[in-house]
Amino acid sequence: MKVCIVAEGCYPYVVGGVSSWIHSMINAFPNIEFVILALIVDRQSSGKFAYELPGNVTQVYEAYLDDVDWGKRRFFHNDRLNVTEFRALRSLVMGSEVDWDTLFTLFGRKDISIDDLLMGEDFLKIVRETYDLQYPQTVFSDFLWTMRSIYRPLFLVLQTEVPQADIYHCVATGYAGVLGSKARFLYHCGLMISEHGIYTREREEELIKAKWVAGIYKNIWIEQFRKMSRLAYERADIVTCLFKRAKELQVDLGCPREKIHVTPNGIRVQNFENLPGKQEEDSRYVDIGAVLRVTPIKDVKTMIRAFGFAKEKMPSLRLWIMGPTEEDPEYAQECFDLVETMEIRDVIFTGRVNVREYLGKMDFTILTSISEGQPLTILESFAARKPVIATDVGNCRELIYGPDDFYGNAGILTHIMNVQEIARAMIDMARNAAQREEMGENGYKRAVNQYTIEQMQETYADLYREVGEKYDKPWSAEPFTL
């Protein structure tokens, strides 16, 4: 069986989160040949892998959201679309029932030029009609150029040549879902969608906060992501999510309920046993570990501010921020500057590290994200018997308090961006060593019994078998070899 993992902005270029999940999935199935179709911004990132690829990954293909237009100029019938193509493009822009199959065929042609299409009469006519019907209160020239900027990355994705495989496993909807849906159209193969966070909702949150887009254009971008998600949900054989609340969000966004499987993340709990602990000289500190990428969605600034206030009450606190800072250098610098401005001592930015070398030395861990799915860092903390402070996003509530089990609380949940509440949680956790130990044990039991890599592997093996059998693609238990 050959599975194509379609990933946007993560594996194998970025560590942590979804990338870690993809890497563990590939390693969990040595009997499957995997190829990667990676969506990245442009060719500057090409080939810059952050992971050593497992032996059962045979190829990495790239698709770009910003690229040179490699299409040839079209010199037939006055560079105009035919009636069917025009109606399909109009259905996409106008937001009616989109004729995706015609669009897949259109952008599969070797002779089409995206730049010519965006600057041509057909696109102008469709945009003008959309403007007159829905947005006449805006300046048309601004509207036209915004529409070109919205559709250019989508057209580039639609033009991408998709490698052939038995099953396409898209690790999001969005542009990845478009590529998976195109593959399903071309090759009549299986399609799975796995959402860690709900892609459309995450894009909505980003756009609402964004400064580069304003007014009605935020809504137009949001609707664009909704169109792509609806396509992926419609074409997929199976859609997975990490927890029950995420399933309801998928249903609200148009995914048929019967397609959805709740499949929790899993980790190798044994990898976090017998970790090196504190040295004697560090015993005077209460160490807080934050395993994350230093990016706005992790809201590191709130964490730093909360730590600063908690540190005033408990000078023994020490904060370790463990993870890469190069993904958003401007935001990382703002975090460094905030530590200096507030004159906070004992904040350590380690950069990218082997978490197992640090986690055993922590007294508890913290995550102050404004959006999450089911954070692997919380599960890893539990596996190391460390309690967690986390914001009430994604599946953090169920991880910390339990869905309907009897293991007990494994940490403290807070509201997002609430500096005072997060600082108080740090202080409460730091002051009570016995409570920390009890919570750490509760988290360990929850991880061992509900969130292991073995359980996740068994679930996905069943899903791969189910989709493979539907398309007469046999499942082999033998290890894959070239």
DSSP string, 192-241: EEE-SS-HHHHHHHHHHH-SSS-THHHHHHHHHHHHHHHHHHHH-SEEEE
Residue 227 above 60 pLDDT? Answer: yes
pLDDT in tens, 422-454: 999 999 999 999 999 999 999 999 999 999 999
Architecture of the domain delimited by 270-450: 3-Layer(aba) Sandwich (3.40)
CA separation for the pair 246, 452 (Å, rounded): 20
Domain boundaries, the chain: 2-69+153-262, 80-151, 270-450
Average pLDDT over residues 280-299: 93
Average pLDDT over residues 43-51: 92
| Structure tokens belonging to residue 192 | 């799975």
Side chain identity at residue 365, one-letter code: T
CA separation for the pair 189, 166 (Å, rounded): 6
pLDDT of residue 75: 42
CA separation for the pair 453, 264 (Å, rounded): 10
Closest CA to 147 of 90, 204, 209: 90
pLDDT of residue 223: 93
> Which residues in 323-410 belong to E strands, given as ranges?
347-351, 364-367, 388-391
Could you check whether 2-69+153-262 and 270-450 share the same CATH topology?
Answer: yes
Confirm if 397 and 413 have CB atoms less than 8 A apart. Answer: yes
pLDDT of residue 76: 44
Instruction: Tell me the DSSP string of 137-156.
Output: TS-HHHHHHHHHHHHHHHHH
Peptide bond just before 12 cis, omega within 30 deg: yes
pLDDT of residue 387: 98
Confirm if 407 and 445 have CB atoms less than 8 A apart. Answer: yes
> Between β-strands 286-291 and 190-194, what pairing exists: parallel, antiparallel or unpaired?
unpaired
CA separation for the pair 315, 134 (Å, rounded): 58
Q: What interhelical angle do 376-383 and 433-450 show, nearest 10? A: 110
**CB count in 10 Å sphere of residue 69:** 17
Confirm if 350 and 324 have CB atoms less than 8 A apart. Answer: no
pLDDT of residue 77: 43
CA separation for the pair 252, 273 (Å, rounded): 41
Confirm if 275 and 383 have CB atoms less than 8 A apart. Answer: no
pLDDT in tens, 372-409: 888 989 999 999 999 999 999 989 999 999 877 889 99
Average pLDDT over residues 163-191: 97
Residue 340 above 90 pLDDT? Answer: yes
Residues near 134 by beta carbon (within 8 Å), at least 6 away in sequence: none
pLDDT in tens, 76-109: 445 689 999 999 999 999 987 999 999 999 999 8
Overall fold of domain 2-69+153-262: Rossmann fold (3.40.50)
State the number of CA atoms in the 13 A half-sphere of 212 facing the CB.
Answer: 6
CA separation for the pair 181, 428 (Å, rounded): 49
Confidence of residue 259 (pLDDT cuts 50, 70, 90): very high
The pTM for the full model equals 0.86
CA separation for the pair 421, 77 (Å, rounded): 66
Confidence of residue 74 (pLDDT cuts 50, 70, 90): low
Closest CA to 377 of 181, 393, 158: 393
Closest CA to 169 of 11, 37, 16: 37
Enumerate helices (H) and strands (E) in the chain, giving the number of each.
17, 13
CA separation for the pair 182, 191 (Å, rounded): 10
Average pLDDT over all residues of the chain: 93
Confirm if 31 and 479 have CB atoms less than 8 A apart. Answer: yes
